[in-house]
Every structure is written in C-alpha cells, then in structure tokens.
Amino acid sequence: MELVARSPEAVRDAVLARASAKRPILIAAPRYLSPDYFRPLREWEGVLSHPSASDYRSAAVGVTEAFAAVARTGSVCVDIGADIAGYVSLLPRLHIVVVDIDKLVFRPSDLFRLEQFSRPTFQRSFVFISGPSATADMGPLVRGVHGPHELHILVLS
C-alpha cells in the first residue's frame, strides 16, 4: 500500500513504478474516480484499455479503481458488474488498485449501510479484495493461485 498525491501524473508514476518492466498493463476505465486520473497512464506504451482475448492471456499487470476500501479488513471494493474491471482485476499476476482515501469505511458492514448501496443500478456486482489469491490446499500457504499473485493498493490522499 502506498499513499499517492491526487494528481493524474502521480497515479501514473506510482503505477509505472509498481509495474516496473512488466507489460502489457491493462486498464479498466474508472466509473467512480474522475477519468482524468488514468488519462496520462493510458497514453503510455504497453498500456491497453481495450484488450483483446490474446491481450488478456498475456497481460502482466491490471489496473483498476476501487469504489471503497475497508480499514479493519484491509480490503478494497472493486465493481465487477459492468465493463472490464472483473477481468482486469483477475487475470494478470499483478493487480494495482487505486482508491480515494475519502471512500474508506471501518468495516464491511458499513458498506451495506450506505444509502447509495440500495440503489439497484449501483454496484450490482462487486468484490471485497483483501489480498492476492492464495491457497493452503497444497500444504503450506501459497500466494498466487488462479488470480493475481500480488496486490498493490494506491491510496489517493
């Protein structure tokens, strides 16, 4: 996790630093944050916002926003109900997620109390992501199973 200044350039730099040489980077367009935050990033080489099936197969990094974060459980909430965030947050080995510190709640149940939550068109489908995919089924704990092996959270503040 890293605190990042509220500027599109800062987001771009933080994402590129985290991705290091890994390419391609897939980006899911934000629906809650201003689209400006991802704009400089989209112009970068090796960054794709409209991936094809083969781009998904080879993707190394996925960048999405989260519409909320949960302090107690260290989770970010990603809307997977529309557009491509469901794939982008799932298929690449590294998932970088950007969330606004103002969207921080204390515990998961707080999210269900938010009034906006009951609006039927809002967040039809979302996922609390609390770490990289992991398993203990093969003996010891192993990080990196069917989903990302690493989760990096960039907090706008």
Partner 1 sequence: MPKHVTSPREIAAKESRAILRRAIRLALDTESAAVRRNTRSFNLNRYGAIAVLPDYEVLKDEARRIKEHALANRKALVQRLSESVTRNGGHFFFARDAQEAREYIQEVCKRHRVRSLVKGKSMTSEEIHLNAALEHDGIRVVETDLAEFILQAADEQPSHIIAPAIHYSRERITALFRRKFQIDLPLDTGEDLTRFARERLREDFLAADAGITGANLISADCGSLLLVESEANIRLTCIVPPLHLAISGLEKIVPSRREFAPFIELLAASATGQPLTSYTSVMQPPLAVPVVDFRGAGPAAREFHLVILDNGREALAQDAQLKEALYCIRCSACLNSCANFQVLGGHGFGGATYSGGIGATWEAATTGQLKLARFSDLCTGCSRCVPQCPVRIDIPGLNVELRSRLNESIPLSPMARAMCLLLGASPAEHASAQQMFFAHYDRVARWGTLFAPLSNFFLKVPGSRWFLEKSFGIDRRRHLAPFPTKTWVDLCDDGVTQKLDAPQGPEVLVLADVFTNYGAPERGRDALRCLHAVGVRVRLTNPLPDGRAALSQGMIETARSQAEALSRYLAAENARGLPLLVVEPSVLAMILREYLKLLPAEPFAKLQNSTMDAVQFLAKHFAELGSEPREVFDIRKFAPGSRVFYHAHCQQRAVSDPSNTVEFLRRLGFEVTCSQVECCGMAGSFGYKKDFYDVSQAVSEELVEQWKAAESAMGPHTLIASGVSCIEQLQGATGRAVLHPVELLAKLL
Tallying the residues shown for the chain, one arrives at 157
CB atoms within 10 A of CB 130: 13
Least spacing, CB of residue 42 vs partner 1, in Å: 19
DSSP structural state of residue 28: P
CB nearer partner 1, residue 20 or residue 135: 135
Cα separations in angstroms, 76 against 41, 48, 61, 103, 112: 21, 23, 17, 10, 14
CB nearer partner 1, residue 43 or residue 113: 113
Least spacing, CB of residue 83 vs partner 1, in Å: 7
CB nearer partner 1, residue 40 or residue 86: 86
CB nearer partner 1, residue 21 or residue 138: 138
Dihedral sign for Cα 59, 1, 84, 29, please: negative
- Element (DSSP H or E) covering residue 54: helix 53-58
Token output for 51: 């991936």
Least spacing, CB of residue 29 vs partner 1, in Å: 13
Point out which residues bind partner 1 (CB under 8 A).
Answer: 53, 56-57, 70, 72-75, 80-84, 86-87, 90, 107-109, 111-113, 117, 120, 123-142, 144-148
Least spacing, CB of residue 144 vs partner 1, in Å: 7
